[in-house]
Amino acid sequence: MCCSSFLKIMMFIFNGGIFVAGAAILGVGVWVKVDSGSLLGLLDNVEDIPSGLSQLVNVSYLLIAVGAVLLVIGFLGCCGAVRESRCMLLTFFSIVLIIFLVEVAGAVVLLVFQDVADQLLGSLEDEVKRSIQKDYGSSESLTSLWNATMEQFKCCGYRNFTDFEGSPYNIEHGGNAYPPICCNATYIDNVCSEKGALHSDIDGCFEKLLHLIEDNAVIIAAVALAIAALEIAAMVVSMVLYKNIGNKA
């Protein structure tokens, strides 16, 4: 009896935190989406702000989705424990189990089916390069997003500066001009030319991302293991409570 009460309290505290976090994330997402005009207007009044920062409003959809899922999980966990509802606890267990299996499946694909992962990355690379060559310099949103990314990570293109060959920006500047970051502040005739880009030898953004992941591999692995442990603990506790409630009935 004492153990059951302790598990209920822990379940309530744990899922209460998830519910509050979900509500906060959902609220921020809705606010960014609804008040995006005011937010962009505020950003426009700030001097020397990166042009790609305006693209942050698109994150509202992700925030809303994550917040909604956390709300549902937290609500089911809290109410299921407090009200001793087997249906809510079973639904909570099912949702967490699905999330856990998706994470495991993703890890298996990356670790075991390396060829499949390489094919997916190759397909992604082709799509990214096509979008650069089609829209960089003509699409304000894509151009500002790439500029902000390259400035942040000090990289050039997906692989290197040649990804911009044939793009509207490249053609507009005579076919021998690339984004300034590709020259690492080394300009020839005030233009980032092919010679300047070759001399600068800036890594592609994909390589930078891989290095970032490799440098933080231990932290990423620790966080992933901690999340997996919490999910397993939540499923175990929910099933223990589910069984205890069934025994009472």
User: Is the confidence at residue 48, as pLDDT, over 50?
Assistant: no
Please indicate, yes or no, whether residues 24 and 50 belong to a single structural domain of this protein. Answer: yes
Q: Which of 59, 62, 94, 111 is nearest to 221 (CA)?
A: 111
Residue 148 belongs to some domain of the structure: yes
Give ∠ CA 183-185-188 in degrees, rounded to 5.
Answer: 65
Please indicate, yes or no, whether residues 13 and 51 belong to a single structural domain of this protein. Answer: yes
Residue 13 CA to residue 21 CA, distance in Å, equals 12
Side chain identity at residue 47, one-letter code: E
State mean pLDDT over 121-135.
81
* Rg, the chain, Cα only: 24
Please indicate, yes or no, whether residues 48 and 78 belong to a single structural domain of this protein. Answer: yes
Please indicate, yes or no, whether residues 160 and 230 belong to a single structural domain of this protein. Answer: no
User: Is the confidence at residue 69, as pLDDT, over 80?
Assistant: yes
Confidence (pLDDT) at 57? 55
Residue 56 belongs to some domain of the structure: yes
Please indicate, yes or no, whether residues 95 and 8 belong to a single structural domain of this protein. Answer: yes
Please indicate, yes or no, whether residues 27 and 80 belong to a single structural domain of this protein. Answer: yes
Please indicate, yes or no, whether residues 109 and 132 belong to a single structural domain of this protein. Answer: no
Contact 158, 203 (CB under 8 A): no
Please indicate, yes or no, whether residues 77 and 127 belong to a single structural domain of this protein. Answer: no
- Which of 9-23, 144-158, 211-225 has the lowest average pLDDT? 211-225
Contact 237, 11 (CB under 8 A): yes
CATH number assigned to the domain comprising residue 181: 1.10.1450
Please indicate, yes or no, whether residues 150 and 237 belong to a single structural domain of this protein. Answer: no
Residue 188 sits at φ, ψ, to 5 deg, of -120, 120
Confidence (pLDDT) at 66? 83
Please indicate, yes or no, whether residues 242 and 153 belong to a single structural domain of this protein. Answer: no
User: Is the confidence at residue 77, as pLDDT, over 80?
Assistant: yes
Sequence-ordered strand ranges (E) for the chain? none
Please indicate, yes or no, whether residues 120 and 107 belong to a single structural domain of this protein. Answer: no
User: Is the confidence at residue 249, as pLDDT, over 60?
Assistant: no
User: Is the confidence at residue 46, as pLDDT, over 50?
Assistant: no
For 196-232, the pLDDT digits (tens) are 888 887 888 888 887 777 777 778 777 778 878 888 8
Please indicate, yes or no, whether residues 151 and 81 belong to a single structural domain of this protein. Answer: no
- Domain of residue 203: give its range: 115-210
Residue 216 belongs to some domain of the structure: no
**DSSP state, 204?**
P
User: Is the confidence at residue 29, as pLDDT, over 50?
Assistant: yes
Confidence (pLDDT) at 42? 44
Residue 219 belongs to some domain of the structure: no
Q: Which of 158, 207, 209 is nearest to 179 (CA)?
A: 158
Residue 106 belongs to some domain of the structure: yes
Residue 51 belongs to some domain of the structure: yes
User: Is the confidence at residue 40, as pLDDT, over 70?
Assistant: no
182 vs 60 pLDDT, higher one: 182
Total domain count, the chain: 2
Residue 215 belongs to some domain of the structure: no
Residue 218 belongs to some domain of the structure: no
